[in-house]
Amino acid sequence: MKKPSSTLINEPTTKPNPDEPVVYLNGEYLALSQAHISVLDRGFTFGDGVYEVIPAYSKNLFRLQHHLQRLDASLTAVKIKNPLSAKQWQQSIEQLIDINAYNDQSIYLQVTRGVAPRDHRFPHQKNPTVFMMTSPQEKPAAEISITGISAITLNDNRWKNCHIKTISLLANVLLRQEALDKGAEEAILLSDGYATEGAASNLFIVQNDCLITPPKSPLLLPGITRDLIVEIAQQQKFCLKEQTISETDLLNAQEIWVTSSTKEIAPVTKLNDKIISNGKPGPHWHKMMQAYQSYKHKLRTH
């Protein structure tokens, strides 16, 4: 059996099969059903690892360098040596996208501290596990641009290092599920009376026609979508402030958006039991969404 190596990049040998995606595991491209890891992988026993979710439009990667920089920052924060160079990451991700059939893909990648007997201490042998898979990048449902989505506020009970994109997502999973169980699409999290982000998204509000998003801090993930929206707002001379959002600001906002690589920019039109922005995506959302779609269009056709 071939010994997996996290630094080896093999030429993909598996033919595309729309029924079975090809995944990447420790330098090998394998049919999903052929990819196996040990039950002693620390990702499994401790949630000891980090991840990224990167969209590709018409097989062109969306803000790859930003994602790789954030991955590197997460790995540094959890003291796992980055197993691949930026160039190796790019090559292996691009190969994976090429092999898989869909034009628009969502690439999930994760790096764990590897396989070792269960012990909280870091293992002596440092052999991180690198896994990547892709799935179709679904367009946000068309009705969202007509009706928006609903959200509820929940107490942010996560740890204090939310800037690290860790695979230990149990708190986020529970918060998002609580929102879903209460008939809402997303939970907007409150930390000491301030809204920080969603369970799986960043947060923007519009107040006095000015776009506001909380500044980067350990209370929230530095979202790649968030950064692009900030960039567009600066280019297009929107009024923009990176400042804290109190619960009162949130409840009285003209518009509320939650953003992520998968949701793009979702307008929140109902928060708890309150209708926001007359129950429809607001004018600022329409303007930003147009600019965001035109960024995506350029990426597709570049």
Residues noted as catalytic: 165
When asked if residue 197 is in the footprint of ligand PDD (CB under 6 A), the reply is: yes
When asked if residue 129 is in the footprint of ligand PDD (CB under 6 A), the reply is: no
Using CA atoms, how far residue 178 sits from 113, 152, 181, 196, in Å, is 30, 9, 5, 17
Q: Residue 284: exposed, middle, or buried by beta-carbon count in 10 A (0-12, 13-18, 19+)? A: buried
| Residues 6 or more apart in contact with residue 292 via CB below 8 angstroms | 228, 229, 232, 264, 265
Site string for ligand PDD, 72-101 (x = CB under 6 A): ------------------------------
Tell the smallest beta-carbon distance from residue 202 to ligand PDD (Å). Answer: 5
What tokens appear for 190 in the block?
């409150």
When asked if residue 201 is in the footprint of ligand PDD (CB under 6 A), the reply is: yes
Q: 12 vs 204, which CB is nearer to ligand PDD?
A: 204
Site string for ligand PDD, 39-68 (x = CB under 6 A): --------------x---------------
Query: CB-hemisphere CA count at 13 Å for 206?
Result: 21
**Whole-angstrom Cα distance, residue 72 to residue 66?**
10
When asked if residue 245 is in the footprint of ligand PDD (CB under 6 A), the reply is: no
Report 139-178 residues binding ligand PDD (CB under 6 A): 172
When asked if residue 69 is in the footprint of ligand PDD (CB under 6 A), the reply is: no
Look-up: residue for tokens 């990176």? 242
CA proximity to 258, closest of 226, 211, 233: 226
When asked if residue 213 is in the footprint of ligand PDD (CB under 6 A), the reply is: no
Q: 12 vs 201, which CB is nearer to ligand PDD?
A: 201
**Whole-angstrom Cα distance, residue 261 to residue 104?**
12
**Residue selected from 116, 224, 265, 289 as contacting ligand PDD according to rule CB under 6 A:** 224
Contact residues toward ligand PDD (CB under 6 A) are 53, 172, 197, 200-202, 221, 223-226, 259-262
